[in-house]
Amino acid sequence: MRSFAFASVFAVAAAFWAADWNALAADHLDPPARTDPAVDSTPDRAADIADIYAFTNGTNVVFAMTFAGPAAADAPGTYDRDVLYTINISNAGLPTDAEIQIRYRFGRDANGNVGVQVTGLPDSPDPLVGPVEQTLSRNGILVRAGLYDDPFFFDLQGFRDSKATGVLSIRKDRNFFAGQNDTAMVMQIPAAMLNQGQPLNIWVTTARFGGQL
C-alpha cells in the first residue's frame, strides 16, 4: 500500500506538532494541490479532512470527524472504500504517541448497500461493523457514520475582502457553509475507557490505498 496522509488537529489539552510530518494540519480543500478543484482537476474529496471536534458529554467523550465537504445539500455522502480514516488519541506518555488508533473504512455489500468497519475501539480488539446512517453500539460505545450539516461557521467572502483590502470585513450574518453538508464519523466513548490520568491529545489522518487518484 502506498499512502499519503492529511492531518487535522484538535487538541483537548495543548496542540502538538511533529517536526517530520509532511503537513502539520489541514482543513477544507487543503492541501489544495490534492483536494481543491480550483487547483486539481481530479480532487480527492474523500480524503479531504474538514474538522475534528472533541468534547465531553457527562461521563463520555464525543468525537466528530468531518470530511468530503462542503457539499451541496442534495449530494449523497462520500464513502470511498480505498480511504483509511484514523482518529489518533494520546492518553499517556508523549502527546505525539497515539496509544489508541481508531480506524474506519467504508465498503459495499453484494446489494450495493454501504457499510462501515471500525477497528481499534478501546473496549475490544474485534471490529464493529454495520450500515451507514445507523447508530452502532457496543459496551457503551456509540458509532454513526453518515451525512451531516456542516457545523462550521465562516464568512469566506469577508475573509477574502479582508485580505484584499486590509480592512476587517467579517460579518456574522454571512456563512459560507450554510446549507452545505459533510460526511462524518461521530462516536461516543465512555471516558473511563480513555482516561489514563493525563489530558487527551487528538488528531486525525486519512490515507489512500494506492496513492492519489
Q: What is the residue whose three cell numbers read 450539516?
A: 149
Q: How far separated are the first and last CA of the chain, in Å rounded?
A: 14
| 162 contact partners, CB below 8 Å, separation of at least 6 | 168, 169, 170
Percent of the chain's residues with pLDDT above 90: 60
> Given a cut of 60, is residue 104 above it in pLDDT?
yes
| 20 contact partners, CB below 8 Å, separation of at least 6 | none
> Given a cut of 90, is residue 31 above it in pLDDT?
no
> Given a cut of 80, is residue 164 above it in pLDDT?
yes
Domain of residue 103, residue span: 5-208
pLDDT for res 36 = 72
Query: Which of 208 and 28 is assigned the larger pLDDT?
Result: 208
Residue 41 C-alpha cell reads as 482537476
pTM over 0.75: yes
| 40 contact partners, CB below 8 Å, separation of at least 6 | 32, 33, 34
Mean pLDDT to the nearest integer, 28-32? 67
Residue 205 C-alpha cell reads as 489522518
pLDDT for res 29 = 66
pLDDT for res 130 = 97
- CB crowding 179-208: b at 16 or more within 10 Å, else e: ebbbbbbbbbbbeebbeeeeebbbbbbbbb
Burial grade of 7 (CB within 10 A; 0-12, 13-18, 19 or more): buried
Residue 60 lies in a domain: yes
Mean pLDDT to the nearest integer, 123-141? 97
Which of 72, 98, 117, 76 has its CA nearest to residue 7?
98
Q: Say if residues 210 and 82 touch (Cβ distance below 8 Å).
A: yes
Residue 54 lies in a domain: yes
**pLDDT band, very low/low/confident/very high, at 197 (cuts 50, 70, 90):** confident
Percent of the chain's residues with pLDDT above 70: 82
pLDDT for res 20 = 41
Residue 193 lies in a domain: yes
Residue 43 lies in a domain: yes
Q: Average the pLDDT over each of 37-41, 75-79, 162-166, 171-175 and give the range with the smallest value.
A: 37-41
Instruction: Indicate the number of domains in the chain.
Output: 1
What does the pLDDT look like over 36-56, one tens digit per residue?
A: 777 777 778 899 898 899 999
> Given a cut of 50, is residue 4 above it in pLDDT?
no
What does the pLDDT look like over 63-102, one tens digit per residue?
A: 999 999 888 889 999 999 999 999 999 998 888 899 999 9
Residue 213 lies in a domain: no
| DSSP 8-state class, residue 46 | G
Q: Say if residues 189 and 61 touch (Cβ distance below 8 Å).
A: yes
